[in-house]
Chains A and B, each alone.
Chain A
Amino acid sequence: MNAAAEPARLAEPLVLRITPPTRWWTIPLGELWSYRELLYFFVWRDIKIRYKQTAIGAAWTVLQPLLTMLVFSLFFGRLAHIPSDGLPYPIFYYSALLPWMYFAAALQNATNTIVENQRLITKVYFPRLALPLSAVLSGLVDFGVSFLMFLVLMVYYRVRPGAAVLWLPVFLLLAILTALGVGLWLSALNAIYRDVRYVLPFLVQFWMFASPVVYASSLVPVKWRWLYGLNPMAGVIEGFRWSLTGRGDPPGRLIYVSAGMVIVLLLSGVGYFQKMETTVADVV
């Protein structure tokens, strides 16, 4: 029955060569593709476990950005009068918190993923890249839920996005890739140096103030904007605000610098991750 059920697989000549690690690295896209079902199961597991272990489950996903948005609107908006490019404060903050909260959570999950799955890593083979990748992807469910909440806000404040909203997927992709690029670096570093775990909360906090979450990037002098784009999340957040509200100018040059930075982060991240990958089962 076995042979009859899977003739194609048995016929497939498959030679696996196991050798000492070399200095070269590649992006194993083909292998990741053949392990796509496992990737799906990892994402599915992350989501299931996250909601099973918490008492009010999915409600957190809505409450977190909503409460943060309220606090920001009150303190930074009503009290500090930070200019919001003419947008109502709740819209101004929530449109930035959407990508930011996704990014912060994805980064945190990705950083811890190698350490949390060390038992798996020492017992079975799969492309290790699947772990940070699934950590970054599983955050998209939360993103989806809080996005629905944003739609409610948009209706309430009568904000019309316009054609710019078509760019939204591009900015979302940029956010995912940023989280992945940095996540690759941090997860690999965390596997070797456990200090990373303690550094991460500070990093996320600094990064938030270095991104236009609580203020608009129009506060940054024009001649320094491109430099500001070296923080890919600056481009992502401005992009989100612009495409969701239709106000302000498109991010322009900033976004090219951000995209370039993401590519650098991603490639170097994959390289460093693979260097770590060859020894990780011996050190974690």
Chain B
Amino acid sequence: MSQTVIHVEGLGKRYRVGERERYLALRDVLTRAFTAPFRSGQERSTRDYLWALRDVSFDVQRGEVVGLIGRNGAGKTTLLKILSRITRPTAGFAEIHGRVASLLEVGTGFHPELTGRENVFLSGAVLGMKRGEIVRKFDEIVDFAGVDRYIDTPLKHFSTGMQMRLAFAVAAHLEPEILFVDEVLAVGDLEFQKKCLGKMQEVSKSGRTIVFVSHQMNQIRRLCEWVLWIDGGQIRQQGPTAELSAAYEASGSGQQQQRDRTEAPNAKASFQKWEILEPCGTGPNILDSFGPLTAKVTLVVKRPLRNVQHGIVLYNAERQLLWGTGFDGLELQEGVQHFLYKLPTLPLRPGPYNLRVTLYDDQGLIDDWECVPELVVATKPVTHPKDEWAGFMNIPCSLSVVSG
């Protein structure tokens, strides 16, 4: 029983360049009024208008979790601000069915002079909770934030982390039918982020609709069923999370991902270039199958080297070491050399990874290069749907039940 809860059609928002987010002094207005007759019409029309958002149309069904992705300034926040009625659109319209809450900032309505308790009530009310609702959930909120000892001290004595936790705890206990969230999970420590993600998953399970902006593609992958990719104020693509997030990551890293090394080369030998020969993904750094994997690193050797040790290691985005191996006693001729690596499979969970290569000889380090700063694994996740049970690997596994 799918039911459209958010219907957006031809939505656009136009700003006047230079006047965006700036207040006027009366002086400026007077100056403009006095000089207006002396300016030519052409001059006035050259004052540029900027469409922060243009012709955006989409539908969201009840219970869906939608990710909003795009570069900074693409218009994600503008869209969220229009949908949460903070600013009005210039064109088009949106229809929303249900009680809405939006979370564009952590700690909306907090005041440093008030105590934690008072702030819970104030922030709750600002975010749209009823007084009775806040009273009922108060203990749960304080418990979630883990600040019960300080709840009656003024907020200004709280550490930043504690303020964030309290703020998110309030937000996490909202019970809207539709929730708009803007990049608020980026704050707080890892442990608390996990807790928040868990809470959001719980919320989405209970049939609520969430529209969610994040730059952390891991979070998008974990939470969202489909994503809306906004680029330059327009929808570039919308569709299933796995496909689009890979395409998005590829588009971003494609330009900055240099396969040639630009730094000054080392005296004895230096790594110069990397390449993934197999599988051939949609981008030079995209892996869209489980394997086999063939990668190539090219190095330039200035003089013959003996008894060289070479290492290659793989990190995840949190900089945890996932895998590493070493090759000893290599002999390298002068000139251009290629290291070819063959792996039968690389069953990693989708996300960005990072490859690093090192070269040593008896006198010590020759070269150390973060060669692929963003290796994107874009396979379909086949792990446990619950994040805390999914682990690092993405291994397809079948089960048969055999009696006797």
Chain A interface (Cβ within 8 Å of chain B)?
2-3, 6, 9-10, 13-21, 37-38, 41, 45, 48-49, 52-53, 119-126, 191-195, 278-279, 281-284
Question: In this complex, what residue of A is CB-closest to B84?
Answer: A125
Interchain CB contact under 8 A, B98 and A278 = no
Given A37-B131, A281-B87, answer yes or no on A193-B122 (Cβ-Cβ < 8 Å). no
Measured CB to CB, the closest approach of chain A to B97, in angstroms, equals 5
Partner of B90, one of A10, A20, A281, A284: A20
Complex CA gap A53/B154 in Å reads 12
Partner of B109, one of A13, A49, A120, A192: A120
Binding site for A on B (CB under 8 A): 15, 19-27, 29, 81-100, 102, 104-105, 108-109, 111, 113-114, 118, 121-122, 125-127, 130-131, 175, 177, 206
The CA-CA distance from A176 to B24 in the complex, in Å, is 29
Closest B residue to A53 using CB positions: B113
Does the CB pair A14–B97 fall under 8 Å?
yes
* B125 and A124 contacting across the interface, CB-CB below 8 Å: no
Across the interface, which residues of B come within 8 angstroms of A121, CB to CB? Answer: 86
User: Across the interface, do A282 and B91 meet the contact criterion of CB distance under 8 Å?
Assistant: no
Across the interface, name the chain A residue whose C-beta is closest to B90: A20
Neighbouring B residues of A124 by C-beta, 8 Å = 84, 86, 102, 104, 108-109, 126-127
* Nearest CB in chain B to that of A45: its residue: B122
A39, closest chain B residue (CB): B125
Contacts A17-B94, A120-B109, A125-B86 aside, 16 further interface pairs with beta carbons under 8 A come to: A10-B177, A14-B98, A18-B89, A18-B95, A20-B91, A41-B121, A45-B114, A52-B113, A124-B127, A126-B126, A193-B24, A193-B25, A195-B26, A279-B87, A282-B87, A284-B23
Task: A280 to B20: give the CA distance in the assembly, Å.
Answer: 11
Min Cβ gap B20→A in Å is 7
CB neighbours (8 Å) of A6 from chain B are: 175
Query: CA separation between A208 and B36, bound complex, in Å?
Result: 38
Query: Using Cβ atoms and an 8 Å threshold, which residues of chain B touch A45?
Result: 111, 114, 122
Residue of A nearest to B29 (CB): A193
Q: Assess the A49–B87 pair: CB atoms within 8 A.
A: no
Which A residues touch B95, using CB under 8 A?
A: 15-18
Indicate whether A18 sits within 8 Å of B96 (C-beta atoms), given known contacts A48-B114, A124-B102, A283-B23: yes
Residue from the list A13, A37, A126, A283 in contact with B22, Cβ < 8 A: A283
The 3 closest A-B pairs by CB, nearest first: A125-B85, A41-B125, A18-B94
Report the bound CA distance from A18 to B22 in whole Å: 24
Give the distance to chain B from A203, nearest Cβ to Cβ, in Å.
14
Q: Would you call A123 and B88 a contact (CB within 8 A)? A: no
**Which B residue sits closest to A191, measured CB to CB?**
B23
Question: Contact: B83 with A282, CB < 8 Å?
Answer: no
CB neighbours (8 Å) of A49 from chain B are 111, 113-114
Contact of B105 with A123 in the complex, beta carbons under 8 Å: yes
Which B residues are CB-close (under 8 A) to A14?
A: 97-99
Task: Please tell me if the beta carbons of B97 and A195 are within 8 angstroms of each other in the complex.
Answer: no
List of B residues within 8 angstroms of A192 by Cβ: 23-24
Q: Chain A contacts of B91 at CB under 8 A?
A: 20
Given A37-B125, A193-B26, A123:B108 Cβ within 8 A: yes
Which chain B residue shows the least CB distance to A122? B86
| Chain A residues within 8 Å of B102, by CB | 124-125
Question: Are A281's CB and B23's CB within 8 A?
Answer: no
Alpha-carbon separation in the docked complex, A121 to B126 (Å)? 10
Please give the distance in Å from A168's CB to the nearest CB on chain B: 31
| B83 to A: closest C-beta gap in Å | 7
CB<8 Å pairs between A and B, sample of 27: A2-B206, A6-B175, A9-B99, A14-B98, A17-B94, A17-B95, A18-B85, A18-B88, A18-B96, A19-B88, A19-B89, A37-B131, A41-B121, A45-B114, A52-B113, A120-B108, A123-B105, A124-B102, A124-B104, A192-B24, A193-B25, A195-B26, A279-B88, A281-B86, A281-B87, A282-B15, A283-B21
Q: In the complex, what residue of chain A is closest to B86 when comparing beta carbons?
A: A281
- Given A2-B206, A20-B91, A121-B86, A13 contacting B97 (CB threshold 8 A): yes
Query: When the two chains form their complex, are residues A41 and B108 in contact, meaning their CB atoms are under 8 A apart?
Result: no
**Nearest residue, chain B, Cβ from A124:** B108
Complex: A52 Cα to B155 Cα, angstroms: 13
Contacting B88 at CB < 8 Å: which of A16, A119, A278?
A278
Could you say which residues of chain A place their CB within 8 Å of the CB of B83? 18
Contact present for B87 and A41 (CB under 8 Å): no
The reply to whether B97 and A20 form a contact with Cβ atoms under 8 Å apart is no
Kindly report which residue of chain B lies nearest to residue A52, judged by CB atoms. B113
Q: In the complex, which residue of chain B has the Cβ closest to the Cβ of A199?
A: B26
Expressed in whole angstroms, the minimum distance between the Cβ of A209 and any Cβ of chain B is: 24
Q: In the complex, what residues of A have CB within 8 A of residue B23's CB?
A: 191-194, 283-284
B84 and A19 contact, CB distance less than 8 A: no
Q: Is there an interface contact between A123 and B24, defined as CB atoms closer than 8 Å?
A: no
Q: How far is the CB of A126 from chain B (nearest CB, A)?
A: 7
A126: chain B residues within 8 A (beta carbon): 126
A91 to chain B, nearest CB (A): 37
Contact between A15 and B97 (Cβ–Cβ < 8 Å)? yes
Q: How far does the alpha carbon of A38 sit from the alpha carbon of B129 in the complex, in Å?
A: 9
A38 contacts B114, C-beta separation under 8 Å:
no
Across the interface, which residues of B come within 8 angstroms of A284, CB to CB? Answer: 23
- Taking the closest CB of chain B, its distance from the CB of A51, in whole angstroms, is 10
Minimum CB–CB distance for B332 against chain A, Å:
59
**Given known contacts A14-B97, A15-B95, A48 and B82 CB-to-CB distance under 8 angstroms:** no
Contacts of A119 in B (CB 8 A): 105, 108
CA distance A57 to B9 in the complex (A): 53
Whole-angstrom distance between the alpha carbons of A124 and B89 in the complex? Answer: 16
Nearest chain B CB to A196 CB, angstrom units: 8
In the assembled complex, the Cα of A49 lies from the Cα of B102 at a distance in Å of 26
For B104, what are the chain A residues with a Cβ–Cβ distance below 8 Å?
A: 123-124
Known contacts A53-B113, A120-B108, A120-B109, A194 near B82 by CB under 8 Å: no
- A111: shortest Cβ distance to chain B, in Å? 14
A19 neighbours in B (Cβ, 8 Å): 88-89, 93
Q: How far is the CA of A284 from the CA of B91 in the complex (A)?
A: 22
Shortest C-beta distance, B85 to chain A (Å), equals 4
Q: Which residues of A contact B100 (CB under 8 A)?
A: 16
Given A53-B113, A282-B21: A20 and B88 within 8 A (CB)?
yes
